Structure 1
C-alpha cells in the first residue's frame, strides 16, 4: 500500500496521482497469473491485462483512502477471468473488497484480527498441533500471511483456486458485521480434560 489518490485535488495533482497509481497497478498486473492462458502472451496490447489494469486503477481512484495495495490484482484476476467482462468484474471486486479491505489497510489491524481468529480456532480445534507450533516459536502463524491476505488463492493451481474461492466467496456475505467479542467458539477444546468436547447449545450454521 501507500499509493494515495484523490479526486478533489487540482488537475495537476490528479494527473500525478493517476500516474503513480497506474504505475503501481501495472507493476503487479504484468506479473499476475501470467501462466494462465487468459492472461498469457505478450504484454503489449494484451486486452485482458489492459482490462485488469483499468479495473484496479478505477477502484484505486474511486477509493482514495484505500487506493491500491499489492495483492489486490490476485483477488481481481479470477473475477475477470471467469466473468470475462470488465464492468461486471469491477462490480464484484468492489463488493468483495467491502469485506477484504480491512486486510489491506495500512497498520494491519484487519490482518491482525484474522490472525487472532486463526490462533483461537487452532487452539480449540487442534491443541496438540498448537502445542507443536508453540514449542517451536511458530505460534504467531506468520507463515499464514499470504493465505489470509489472498484467501489461499496463490496456494493452488489457478483452476483449483477458482473452486476454493467460489466456495469461500459464495458462502459469506460481502460485508458481515463484526461480532462484538470476536469469533464465538462454543464447546470445550478438543482433548480437554473431561473427555469429548461439549455439544454447542445453539447451531453455528
Structure 2
C-alpha cells in the first residue's frame, strides 16, 4: 500500500523495491547527491560523528533520503533535506520511523525545495507582511538599506532555523514548530502517503 504503515518490514520492502525498479544511472545519481550532503550533516554531533566507513547512522540517513528521492522523482533529493531528516533520525533512532516522519513533514516543506522557488517566495512574502505589521520601524530600517527582500533569511526559511542554533537547541525549536503547525495539506484519513502524493503537484503516485 502507498499509505498504510505496518512498520519496519514495510519500509524495508519499499526501500528494496524502489532501488530495484530505478535505472542504475538514476540510482547512482540520487545516491551520490544524497551522499554529498550526508557526510557533512551534523558531523559534530555524537550521533553522526566518527569515521564515515561503516557508520550505521550515516548509512540510515543515506538510505531514508535515497528512498524518499526514488519514491518522489519529481522532487527527488534537494540540498538541505538532510538537515531536516537528521534531527528526526537522531531523536527516533529508527530509520523506518524517521522515514515516515520525514514523509509527513515534507507534505508541508516540499514546496520550498521545488525548482523555481515559488514555495520559498510564498514564505518570504509571509515573512515580509508579518514584519511590516509587527515591527514597522525595523521594516523601514531594512527598506532604507535595500535589505527588505530579506534574502538573508533564506536558510532560516528553508531549514526552519535548524542551522541557526546548536543541535540540542535546534531540536527544541523544531519540536515547537513541528508540533504546533498542522501539516499542509492535511493527511488523508488512511494515513501519510509514502510514494508520490506528499510532494506531487498532481497528487498522483510516483510524482
Q: TM-score surpassing 0.5?
A: yes
2:183 pairs with 1:174: yes
- Cα distance in 2 between the residues matched to 1:72 and 1:118: 22
- Cα distance in 2 between the residues matched to 1:173 and 1:87: 22
Corresponding residue of 1:85: 94
Spell out the pairing of 1:14-25 with structure 2 (5 A cutoff).
14-25=23-34
- Cα distance in 2 between the residues matched to 1:171 and 1:121: 18
Of the three residues 63, 86, 98, the one matched with 2:107 is: 98
4+ aligned runs moved over 2 Å, structure 1: none
Tell me, which stretches of 5 or more residues in structure 1 are unaligned?
1-6, 178-205
Corresponding residue of 1:49: 58
Q: Which has the higher contact order (CA 8 A, sep 6+)?
A: 2
2:145 pairs with 1:136: yes
Residues 107, 185 of structure 2: 8 Å contact kept:
no
2:116 pairs with 1:107: yes
- Cα distance in 2 between the residues matched to 1:67 and 1:39: 23
Q: How many equivalent residue pairs? A: 169
| CA-CA distance at 1:173 after TM superposition | 1.2
- Cα distance in 2 between the residues matched to 1:98 and 1:106: 16
| CA-CA distance at 1:14 after TM superposition | 1.0
In the superposition, the TM-score normalised over structure 1's length comes to 0.80
Q: Secondary structure at the match of 2:49?
A: coil
- Cα distance in 1 between the residues matched to 2:106 and 2:185: 12
What's the RMSD between the two structures over aligned residues?
1.6
- Cα distance in 1 between the residues matched to 2:171 and 2:101: 15
In the superposition, the TM-score normalised over structure 2's length comes to 0.79
- Cα distance in 2 between the residues matched to 1:164 and 1:51: 24
Tell me, which stretches of 5 or more residues in structure 2 are unaligned?
1-16, 187-207
| CA-CA distance at 1:174 after TM superposition | 1.6
| CA-CA distance at 1:73 after TM superposition | 0.0
Corresponding residue of 1:65: 74
Q: Secondary structure at the match of 2:23?
A: helix
